[in-house]
Structure 1
Amino acid sequence: MIFVSRPRRRGNMLAASALMLTLSAPAGPLLAAPAKPAGTIPPPPTSPEQKSLLLDMQDAFTKIAKTVEPSVVNIKVERFRSVDATDFGMSPDQSPGDGPDTPDTPTTPDAPVKPGAPAPPTDKSAPKSGAPETPKKPKPQTPSKGPAAPPSTGTPGAPPNSHPLTPRTQRRFEATGSGVIVRPDGYILTNDHVVDGAANGMVTVTLSDGRQFKGKVYPDYRSDLAVVKIDPGNAKLPAAQFADSGQVQPGQWAIAVGSPFNLENTMTVGVISALGRHQRIPGETAGSGRYYPDLIQTDAAINPGNSGGPLFNIDGNVIGINVAIESPVEASSGVGFAIPSATAQSIMNSLITKGKVTRGYLGIAPDDLTPALQQEFSQAAGAFVRDVRVDSPAGKAGIEASDIITYFNGEPVTGEVSLRQAIADTEPGKSIKVAYVRGGVPLVTNVTLIPAPPVPGEVPSASDVTNPATSKLGLSIRDITPHDRQEMSLPATTQGVTVVAVETNSPAEAASLSAGMPLVGTVIQRVGKTTVKNKVDFDQALKVIGDSDSFTISVVYSAGGDLHQTAVTINR
């Protein structure tokens, strides 16, 4: 869950309390109340018709709960992080596991910025003018139930209690979130920030009936959505149905179901408060972050742990995926946000069918035409071009800042959101016509879109990963990416392949447990006697090893801000 804190106004609250006490004080001498039988209270002043209406509403919500709760799941995520023993007030010879537990502190506040506020990207939203046409946001994380330290087994061949080359620089954390079953064969929709950083790309999914499954994560960083696939065998899971979020209106009922504070199957009720909220949340590094151009606002109670869970209408259909709250107390204060179901379905379908989301890229930062802009440029409709990358498709096609785009590929542009969606939905490599107005003069240009470039913090999708040459190892690897270099502060000269997944009950997992460190996120530079520079080298190294029962890999990993290389033995 994502939230923003604001200073508490204790003085005002105390003053209000004092006023209430003053008003409730008796003005005259106390009078004895008529004697009544002990334990009785007067009946409420409601007519039979009023009570009947309340009972009908109560029964309706009860039926909705029984209908939708089986489709909502709890998701537990295990994360490993490199830590420095001195961060825990210990000497370098101590392990973090020997010290007190430390909460899984998010790298950024687990909160959204104030909706629509044109402020710098600190605790409030940044101006939309700095946003690219595809969403950007940091890696928010679900608050943890509490970390548990991994066993201090030591690295084979390393001196006792050595630091930081021992696995004691790796610490395990657990976080929880929610999700909703979207297909009977085991596909679950959730937030990317819920499953971000999951060890070995796997999470634990608990159904409403208590059954547990391991799930594989397919994330989409930009939209803050992800699909988790579990294998229910021959069983058919209860899948939720989607409603058209385009038909949602303020004042309609809104029902949130999820696991706030790890309290599974919790249902809260409210209304749709507003539509079209803009949110930006900064990342840990310059240029990173996620941008939400179109969110549903609700006062249904949403708390940490609700992230990834569904927002239903009174028909029991999903209208949104809960993603953030605004609150001064790190809990619900009546301002929550959900990603509209139309957006969620589009991303979900791409992740299920392709394993990733491919977006077109124009290279502009669009904005809505405010009344002031409409008056200044004498233009009533379109999207205002706030910023253009000169070397982008838009820049090369002659589009400039302050232009107003009115048509994209023959379809009218009604504002920022419609243009962003049209750009994202356009297949890269396709040439389209863009109509725009400059200085009151209508113009048209042809633009060929390119694939959207990765943003800082975005992890390559599962479909970009090369599976191991032999599945018996249980390793999935890829060539080192710019994201990997940034995450691990790798020098430009570092070569190898990045481990992106380790299969359960595989030789690679056994080696990881034996070494006391996760292999996911490390860079393999040597297999046996063979130097590995890329995926081709890795596959060739495995051929050289052949059917050997045991071999050693040399991996590079980051710990305490430093790079280390260690040898890990894999037994088959």
Structure 2
Amino acid sequence: MLTIYLPMLLFYKKISQMQQGDNMTKRQLIASTIISVGIFASIVTTISTKANAITFKETASQDLQRAMPTNGNLLSYYEVIKEPKKSVVNIFTKKVVKQVTTMNPLMNDPFFRQFFGGELGGMQMPKDRVERSLGSGVIVTEDGYIITNNHVIENADEIMVVLPDTKNELHAKLIGADPKTDLAVIKIDAKGLIPISFADSTKVREGDVVFAIGNPFGVGETVTQGIVSALNKSGIGINDYENFIQTDASINPGNSGGALVDSRGGLIGINTAILSNTGQNNGIGFAIPSSLAKKISKELVEKGKIERGRIGITMKDMSEKERKYYSCDKGVIVMDVQKGSPAEKAGIKMGDLVVKINGQNVIDSAFLKNYVGSMSPSTPVALVLLRAGKNVNITLKLEKIDDKVVAVTNADYTFMDGLGLVDINDAMRKKYSLASKQQGALVMNVKENSSASRNGFSEGDVIVQVEDIEVMSVHDAIGAKKALGSLSNKQIFVRRKGAVYSVILE
């Protein structure tokens, strides 16, 4: 379960390396008022190259009647949850990670290095260890397709599934994953499974009774009850595309990827995260709507990838003063138009107010981002803009972003054998959760059996100083090496996950 921490008004995802903890990564989450909607295409490579068709079991979506329990009857939801319980599985993963162990901290002291030389042993030694994590998943077809969270299975070397009411572990293979929505599809070799029934998540309302089904803390299948606390929650900073259902049903580590069902047993969401300053349930949980989970999983199974279109604008929500200026309560302001984008070709200008898309009111920037992000490249969209007090109608086709725009800079291996370094930019800061003003030479790659690997470097490390020479870029790092003549027995200062470490090179 992704856990969002709340100290000092900053949100962080909980990191757990416990044997029975979720596989999560820490990301600093800062809500921004300006959101880019040059909504990039996300291509997800799959292990399975065979195209398949997938259909889902549906819960009736007629006009729903809500009712209170009648007098004299025992209020129980046993009949409601007994079927969806059969569709929720436990997921266990294994991942082999390289761990750097300190052999002798005395070797940090130049006196000991000079006096004892190499007799005390090397400073650091890479060592493999197995990291285990757990989560939940939801069976969506009789032949073994399962929806879960991407963070549950991300980078796993082995994925195991335990079916309800059994102890047998089944190997699962990854069909595809979409990190931008934190959804993934895995498959087990099984027949005759009980798929969950999908409800229409667009008809969910605040106050609806819901149940969270999953495997918290690895204790086994567990059901908790709550209500829908809020809808369309965005700006949390967990995923690139957010439209969460918020619930107070108890969700804890291990529930990630499990089911959130309504009082009929229909799936309305995939449990994903909690908001907490302790790492445990605090009554604020988030689930990805089932309508989005259905769409993403269907594309992953049938197409093998997720492709998103873009309009090509940067936008921001209106302030109170801007609402008065535009004489409009809803819409987003175009702050920039990307060259060569569909927006530029259609004539969208800086300062335009986007008020409608395909006939729907644009509530805010999160709405527009999610709306466009749900559509594929080449999809036509109709926009209504407010420009100089008049409505302007524009039609354009969404376009897939050129991969070159988001290409990663090639790493430089000049500094050390097997150590790929790049300069830090905004994309790197976001990817590795670096501070906004962090400078240095970023480690993008460490080749196996290289000098860099033997010295304990890891991807995401930032070299900030070589001996007494400050490093602000890859050029600085290479310059320091030239100035020193050799890196042998030199001290390198590395920032890793917010802390600074020193490495004495072999």
TM-score when normalising by structure 2: 0.61
Whether the 8 Å CA contact 1:405–1:413 is kept in 2: the answer is no
Residues 1:64 and 2:21 are matched in the alignment: no
**Aligned position for 1:189:** 147
Aligned residues: 357
Match of 2:264 among 294, 297, 315: 315
Distance 2:83 2:104 in 1: 47
Query: Which residue matches 2:178?
Result: 220
Mapped contact 1:279–1:292 kept (Cα < 8 A)? no
- Alignment check: 8 A CA contact 2:226 2:248 kept: yes
Separation in 2, partners of 1:450, 1:329: 43
CA displacement 1:270-317 (0-9 Å, x = unmatched): 001111111343xxxxxxx73343111111001111111110001001
Q: Does 1:180 align with 2:138?
A: yes
Preserved contact between residue 82 and residue 558 of structure 1 (Cα < 8 Å): no
Amino acid at match of 2:267: V
Distance, in Å, in 1 between the alignment partners of 2:342 and 2:96 is: 40
Q: Report the alpha carbon displacement of residue 376 of structure 1 after superposing the two structures with TM.
A: 2.9
Moved more, 325-334 or 60-69: 60-69
Instruction: Please tell me whether Structure 1 or Structure 2 has the larger radius of gyration of its CA atoms.
Output: 1
- 1:407 Cα offset (Å): 3.9
Matched, 1:85 2:101: yes
The alpha carbon displacement at 1:80 in A equals 2.2
User: Residues 428-507 of structure 1: matches in 2 within 5 Å?
Assistant: 428-429=377-378, 432-452=381-401, 482=408, 490=420
Check whether the contact 1:405–1:436 (CA below 8 A) recurs between aligned residues.
yes
Q: C-alpha distance in 1, partners of 2:262/2:159?
A: 28
Q: Post-superposition shift, 1:173?
A: 0.2
Cα deviation, residue 424, structure 1? 2.5
Q: Give, in whole Å, the separation in 2 of the partners of 1:237 and 1:171.
A: 35
Distance 1:88 1:336, change over 3 A: farther
8 Å CA contact 1:361–1:452 kept in 2: the answer is yes
Distance, in Å, in 2 between the alignment partners of 1:280 and 1:69 is 29
Structure 2 residue 279 is the aligned partner of structure 1 residue 330: yes
Decide which structure has greater helix share: 1
Q: Residue 234 of structure 2: which of 243, 266, 278 is its match?
A: 278
Instruction: Give the match for residue 305 of structure 2.
Output: 356
AA matched with 1:260: P
CA contact (8 A) 1:366 1:419 kept: no
| 1:137-156 alignment runs, 5 A limit | none
Q: 1:251 to 1:349 in 2, by over 3 A?
A: same
Shift of 1:231: 1.0
Per the alignment, residue 411 of structure 1 pairs with: 359
Q: Is the 2:352–2:387 contact (alpha carbons within 8 Å) kept by the matching residues of 1?
A: yes
Give me the whole-angstrom Cα distance separating, in 2, the residues matched to 1:489 and 1:389. 35
Aligned twin of 1:261: 217
Taking a change above 3 Å as real, the CA distance of residues 392 and 91 of structure 1, as seen in their structure-2 partners, is farther
Instruction: Report deviation, 1:229.
Output: 1.1
Contact 1:280 1:291 in 2 (8 A): no
After superposition, what is the alpha-carbon deviation per residue over 1:408-448, rounded to whole angstroms, capped at 9, x for unaligned? 4x433433455334423443245655331223232344544
Let me know the Cα RMSD of the aligned residues.
Answer: 3.8
The equivalent residue for 1:247 is: 203
2:493 is aligned to none
Instruction: Classify 1:332/1:430 alpha carbon distance in 2 versus 1 (closer, same or farther; 3 Å).
Output: closer
1:6-48 deviations in Å (ceiling 9; x for gaps):
469xxxxxxxxxxxxxxxxxxxxxxxxxxxxxxxxxxxxxxxx
Q: 1:118-141: per-residue Cα shift (whole Å, max 9, x none)?
A: xxxxxxxxxxxxxxxxxxxxxxxx
Query: Do the aligned partners of residues 90 and 360 (structure 1) sit closer, same or farther apart at CA in structure 2, a change above 3 Å counting?
Result: farther
1:2 to 2:18 alignment: no
Q: Which amino acid aligns with 1:357?
A: I
Q: Which residue of 2 aligns with 1:347?
A: 296
Partner of 2:484: none
Amino acid at match of 1:327: S
Among candidates 67, 71, 91, match of residue 75 of structure 1: 91
Does the CA contact (< 8 Å) of 1:311 and 1:321 recur in 2?
yes
SS, match of residue 84 in structure 1: strand
CA contact (8 A) 1:71 1:180 kept: yes
* 1:66, distance to aligned residue in structure 2 (A): 1.8
Q: Aligned partner of 2:129: which letter?
A: R
Quick one: percent identity of the two aligned structures? Answer: 32
Over 3 Å counting, the alpha-carbon distance change for 1:439 and 1:338 in structure 2 is same
Question: How far did residue 223 of structure 1 move?
Answer: 0.7
CA separation of 1:243 and 1:562: change in aligned 2, threshold 3 A = closer
Distance across 1 between alignment mates of 2:409 and 2:196: 35
CA shift, 1:405, in A, is: 1.8
The residue identity in structure 2 corresponding to 1:295 is F
Please tell me the residue identity of whatever aligns with 2:164.
S
Q: In structure 2, what residue type is equivalent to 1:2?
A: L
2:188 counterpart (224, 230, 240): 230
Mapped partners of 2:255, 2:446: distance in 1 = 31
| Secondary structure at 1:204 match in 2 | strand
Give the Cα separation in 2 of the matches to 1:275 and 1:85.
46
Aligned pair in 2 of structure 1 residues 395, 345: CA closer, same or farther (>3 Å)?
same
Match of 2:377, SS state, is: coil
Contact 2:234 2:242 in 1 (8 A): yes
Question: How far off its partner does 1:321 sit?
Answer: 0.8
Q: Distance in 2 between matches of 1:430 and 1:385?
A: 21
CA contact (8 A) 2:4 2:273 kept: no
Change (3 A) 1:432 1:327: closer
Deviation at 1:78, TM superposition (A): 1.1
- The structural deviation recorded for 1:178 is 0.8
Give the partner amino acid of 1:325. I
CA contact (8 A) 2:103 2:122 kept: no
Is the strand fraction higher in 1 or 2?
A: 2
Give the superposition deviation at 1:363: 2.5
- Partner AA of 1:72 in structure 2: V
User: What secondary structure is seen at the aligned counterpart in 1 of 2:151?
Assistant: helix
What whole-Å deviation, never above 9, does each CA across 1:55-106 have from its counterpart, x for those lacking one?
621xx322223221110011111122222122997999xxxxxxxxxxxxxx
Contact 1:522 1:556 in 2 (8 A): no
Aligned to 1:300: 249
Amino acid at match of 1:324: A
* Structure 2 residue identity aligned to 1:65: I
- Indicate yes or no: 2:97 matched with 1:171: no
CA distance in 2, matches of 1:204, 1:290: 25
